[in-house]
Amino acid sequence: MRTDKSAQGKWKAAFRAAFPLTLPICIGFLFLGMSYGFLMKSSGFATIWTAAMSLFIFAGSMEFIAMNLLLASFNPIYSFLLTLMVNARHLFYGISMLERYRGMGWKKPYLVFGLCDETFSINCTAKVPQGVDRGTFYLIVTMLNQCYWVTGAIAGSLLGNILTFNTEGLDFVMTALFTVMLVNQWEEKKDHRPAIAGIAASLLCLLVFGSDIFLIPAMAAIVLIFAFMAKREAV
């Protein structure tokens, strides 16, 4: 009995600490997920496919692309390269989270699977309150964010049976969400050099490589800049 109560208390404390931090993401994911559900329904996919893709792919923009890939001619090599290019940033996310996710036991596989941009932003920067289990906090953040996305996608697909309207522009919700998260991190951190370096490297690579392939060079440049900055600070 004591063990059960202590376990429940651990989960409740982690939930109370994690839930408020995910509310801005909840709003963005519900709207963007609904737009994805509407698009899936308008493209002829049943709700079960929308639910399955949002649950098992859970890769944001890649889910929109996957919808088009399923409607196009079968080309596995192109699909693989496109997926790698779109989601290459997760390689860098994963490397930076190795230490934080060390020793997480059974939680780690799901933490790795659910590491989207928004979850990375919270788990990388949030200060886990004293007395709250760190692994449980990370797990609840990850679970809540995926639940928001899946709920929005299913709701959009179901409403697509009733409502019909032009969904163009709804994906701007994600851009607005990233902007809010950047502003919050800018206000919380005194050292703005990483943010400035990331913005500068992205803009430079966008000008040099173009909008289609700038993401991977930008990520590589950011990693090199951060490695150089860390080496300078260590000296």
Distances (CA, A) of 220 to 25, 178, 209: 27, 20, 13
CA 188/CA 184 separation, integer angstroms: 6
From 79, 74, 56, select the one nearest 48 (Cα to Cα).
Answer: 56
pLDDT at res. 234: 62
| One-letter amino acid of 87 | N
Contact 22, 148 (CB under 8 A): yes
pLDDT tens track, the chain, 235 positions: 455 657 788 899 999 999 999 998 998 899 888 888 988 888 889 999 999 999 998 887 788 878 888 888 888 887 887 787 777 778 777 888 888 898 899 999 999 999 988 899 899 888 888 889 999 999 999 999 999 999 999 999 998 878 766 656 655 655 666 677 677 777 777 888 878 888 898 899 999 988 877 777 887 788 788 778 777 776 5
Q: What is the DSSP letter of 165?
A: -
pLDDT at res. 169: 64
Classified as helix, coil or strand, 137 is helix
CA 189/CA 72 separation, integer angstroms: 45
From 182, 174, 164, 104, select the one nearest 140 (Cα to Cα).
Answer: 104
Q: Is 116 exposed, middle or buried (0-12, 13-18, 19+ CB in 10 A)?
A: buried
pLDDT at res. 141: 96
Question: Tokens 């928004």 correspond to what residue?
Answer: 118
pTM here? 0.73
Question: Tokens 């005194």 correspond to what residue?
Answer: 190
